[in-house]
Structure 1
Amino acid sequence: MATAPEPTPRKQYRKYFIPLESNPDVFTELIHELGVSPTLCFQDVLSLDDEELLTFVPRPALALVLLFSSSSTYETHVAADEAARQGYTGSGDDEDVIWFKQTIYNACGLYGILHAVCNGDARKHIAPNSTLSNLLAKGVPLEPEARGRVLEASAELESAYRVVAQKGDTEPPENPEDVVDFHYVCFVKSHENNRLYELDGDKKGPIDRGAINEDQDMLSQAALEPIREYIDRENGRSINFSLIALVPAG
């Protein structure tokens, strides 16, 4: 399986993590260590279109985490898109989604996982007084910069991550500052307004991807459309995509 560090740094970081392998078992172990109930787990999505393969994924799917190669096509698209956007300043319990600004380099997998479990119905599965519930209690009232620093300063989060990041099928890089051209983004359904959001801590804020029906989960056609956009944008030049869903445990 591929590892997924950040693309070429766009900003200065004060902390660096070993990149996390795109592996549902690794993802699942990490969320359970942080305080998510064993009733949830991550599972590979092997097809967007093959109904038979999709039946192997438990429903409802609560979030999607996409791994892809940060190609020149992607970087050009992001630069243009971000230039036209305002920076996000939301905070507090009335936010449509919980978004974490990334302040830890090579930790895009961690941010994808946190975005998945802290939004929508998944948030109901976080145990009280766990590492994750404590981070949310401290971070949610704060604006993005300060909220990001709450994650950065958490010894419990860093300890759990470092143990899990050593696992998987791929040898992690020795130097956490190494640049490798893979990146994670997360897609979730808002707990406030049934809107689909793209969450990437390396961007200026959450991206509203449009309405999704109340009875549609994250493997519905509406939710999968942004994934197809990522793939179609490459026009066959890259096949380096991997999709993992947050789902009920069997």
Structure 2
Amino acid sequence: MTDLKPSVYRKHFIPLESNPVVFTKLIHRLGVPPSLAFTDVYSLDDPDLLAMISRPTSALILVFPTSLQYEQNKAADEMKRDNYAGQGAEEDVIWFKQTINNACGLYGVLHCVSNGKTASSITPSSTLSNLLAKCIPVSPQARALVLEEDEELEKAYTTAATEGDSAVPENPEDEVDFHYVAFIKSTKNGHLYLMDGDRKGPVDLELPLTESDDLLSEPVLEVVRKFIQMEGGENLNFSLMALGPSQNDDDD
């Protein structure tokens, strides 16, 4: 799930199951309103299956198996980039460096709900609202510590991690072979971003989106298709979840 050395991690979480119900319950506990929810995306090409998803879609989470090819591609990309140092309200996006082992699902969630139009719908004084108030003004390094030390966030996550259908690992320090990344649209510059806490910072994909383009618009779908193909697209273990209007406000 990550190429960071175990010594980097100060905390270890049980991995989150790739399940839109689990993800939806988690964001509601954190302070996202019931009007928003995650749902599975079953096809990137079939218009009938895509039409089943409530729009507009504000973010995507892609889940995929890690591999040597993926790690090599990522390392090559990261060699060209500097460590991100953004902080404050002027940031184009809000990014979190992953320092909690096996918690890439949590970082994917945070990237989805802290950016785009979803961020403006967060319930005031909620766990997420309070977290962002502490995180936005500080450096990525300080943000990482805020996340590690937030007891309400850990409690909500731990509950979600034990609610899925999959067996929970006995040891949270055991590595898993899948990873989560998010795709979001910046409300500042309108660009599409790849958000991955295992990288040096947010990745501006330099794709400007129009006001009417959501995260299931054709330009975004093409980016996701290429990402999957580059990382071994024939593997059926790839899955995609979309964040958008809830079809059922009773998910909690």
TM-score range, shorter chain: over 0.9
Structure 2 unaligned blocks of 5 or more: 248-252
CA distance in 1, matches of 2:192, 2:162: 32
Moved over 6 A (4+): none
What amino acid sits opposite 1:151 in the alignment? L
Report how far residue 9 of structure 1 moved: 3.3
| Cα displacement (A) at 1:236 | 4.6
- Give SS of 1:57's match: coil
Secondary structure at the counterpart of residue 44 of structure 1: strand
Q: Which of these residues, 123, 143, 148, is aligned with residue 147 of structure 1?
A: 143
Residue from 2, 9, 12 that aligns with 1:7: 2
Give RMSD over aligned pairs: 1.1
Identity of aligned residues (%): 56
Tell me which amino acid in the other structure corresponds to 2:124.
P
Number of matched residues? 245
| Equivalent residue in structure 1 for 2:189, among 177, 187, 193 | 193
What does 1:1-250 correspond to in 2, within 5 Å? 6-10=1-5, 12-209=8-205, 210-236=207-233, 238-250=235-247
1:188 is paired with a residue whose SS is strand
Q: Encode CA deviations 1:107-160: one digit per residue, 9 max, x unaligned.
A: 000000010011010111200000000000000000100011111110000011
User: Residue 3 of structure 1 aligns with which residue?
Assistant: none
Distance 1:150 1:18 in 2: 19
What TM-score do you get using the length of structure 2 for normalisation? 0.95
Once the 2 structures are TM-superposed, how far is the Cα of residue 237 of structure 1 from its aligned partner? 5.0
In structure 1, runs of 5+ residues without a counterpart are 1-5
Q: CA deviation digits over 1:73-94, x for unaligned, max 9? A: 1111001111111010000011
Q: SS of the residue aligned with 1:185?
A: strand
Match of 2:250 in 1: none
* Contact 1:68/1:241 (<8 A) preserved: yes
Classify 1:88/1:234 alpha carbon distance in 2 versus 1 (closer, same or farther; 3 Å).
closer
- Whole-Å Cα distance in 1 between the matches of residues 93 and 52 of structure 2? 28
In structure 1, C-alpha distance between the alignment counterparts of 2:173 and 2:246, rounded to whole Å: 34
The residue type equivalent to 2:94 in the other structure is: I
